[in-house]
Amino acid sequence: MTEAGRARTFRWSVGALAPHYTTAATLKRSTEKGAPEASQFLQLSASYMHADGGRRVRVSTLRLPRLPSGVPTRQLLPAFDQQAAAALMIRQAAGEAHDGATTPELLTSIDRRLIKVMRALCAFAKGEPSSVALPPQAGMLPGLIFHLRRSPAVRTTNLSPDETAYFRHLVGTLGVFSALVLVQPTLSAYERGRQATPLQLDPSAMLPERSLLLDTFTKLILCHGAHIAQWRRSAASAKPGAQHGASSDPELEAIVASGRKDLEALAAARFPAPEVFECDQYGSKARYLVQKLNPDVPLVEFLQGLYKAIVAS
């Protein structure tokens, strides 16, 4: 069997497995010439000991069709999984950091990898950034990488070595969706007369009459706007048994209750267990939310720079 990988082997071992663990393998395009219709096969075999003491083996066989030389890579777009691609790029960044790469080196490597992928998948005219046509199958990828550049996988400011190691361990073992939430947290808004609505991570998301639920995978934060926070304080100080008055507002009660219900459901289903807390706008703990909503460089500027790099000769 041909040896493969940086370790020059075809066998890898891990100390333990959990239901949420995933592994990834990257394949380089072969330089060997073959018939266009020829296919290759890859077989993965996993052997492990179950908690009941029994030995188990799982085998998966994959068929890898060859792409004839001269065929544009864009023809692979219907089969392109941008979320899996982003998760793989996250793991590659974490692996480079483990090997000792500095933050500037990681940023350069991430940018080069993204530019290479987008050049292969986008249609554009050289020297004209406005001509870049981002295909729907890859439309999310630049935004995901934008958040990767800001994440603890790359930047270690205000983090202890233990926190950095823990984050990089998680992105290297979790599934695709969980890894993406670690890098690009999800944000949901709760308002009067509306169901929970997903929002972009933007400073304008925080409003006085809106509650926000931020999920960073390791933290679950329910933050109430200033007006809702004031109502909560008034309701808490109201006399027991009071049925009406300034502290009674069924719609605000529904907003708070809906946010708490979703918060508890996420916390109950999450492993490893996240840090959970509830806070108010302008409160001390709201800084965790504000930090995620205020990027150093706006996404629009990042995309403009990416498009210029894509069309550069």
pLDDT in tens, 113-139: 999 999 999 999 999 999 999 999 999
pLDDT at position 305: 95
With 70 as the cut, is the pLDDT of residue 4 above it?
Answer: no
Confidence of residue 23 (pLDDT cuts 50, 70, 90): confident
pLDDT bucket at 1, cuts 50 / 70 / 90:
low
Tell me what pLDDT residue 74 has. 84
Q: Which residue has the higher pLDDT, 297 or 147?
A: 147
Structure confidence at residue 73 as a pLDDT band (50, 70, 90): confident
Tokens 């046509």 appear where? 133
Cα 144 to Cα 165: distance, rounded to the nearest angstrom:
21
Domains of the chain (ranges plus CATH)? 79-180+298-311 (1.20.120.730), 185-282 (3.40.20.10)
How much is the pLDDT for 79?
84
The more confidently predicted of residues 72 and 35 is 72
Longest dimension (CA), the chain: 82
Over the stretch 138-185, which tens digit does the pLDDT of each residue have? 999 999 999 999 998 898 888 899 999 999 989 988 999 999 999 999
Contact 80, 137 (CB under 8 A): yes
pLDDT at res. 180: 95
| Residue 63 confidence (pLDDT) above 60 | yes
- Position 247 pLDDT exceeds 70: no
CB 153 within 8 Å of CB 168: yes
Instruction: Provide the pLDDT for residue 309.
Output: 96
- Averaged pLDDT for residues 215-230: 95
Contacts of 43 (CB under 8 A, 6+ apart): 59, 60, 61, 62
* Pairwise pLDDT comparison (18 vs 84), residue with the higher score: 84
Contact 20, 175 (CB under 8 A): yes
Nearest to 209 by CA among 193, 194, 195, 191: 191
Quote the mean pLDDT of the chain: 88
Q: What is the pLDDT of residue 19?
A: 78
Question: What confidence score (pLDDT) does residue 294 get?
Answer: 86
Tokens at 26, concatenated: 């990257």
pTM of the predicted model as reported, rounded to 2 decimal places: 0.84
Which burial class, exposed, middle or buried, applies to 178 when counting CB atoms under 10 A from its CB (0-12, 13-18, 19+)? middle
Distance (Å, rounded) from C-alpha 138 to C-alpha 83? 9
Mean pLDDT of 43-49: 90
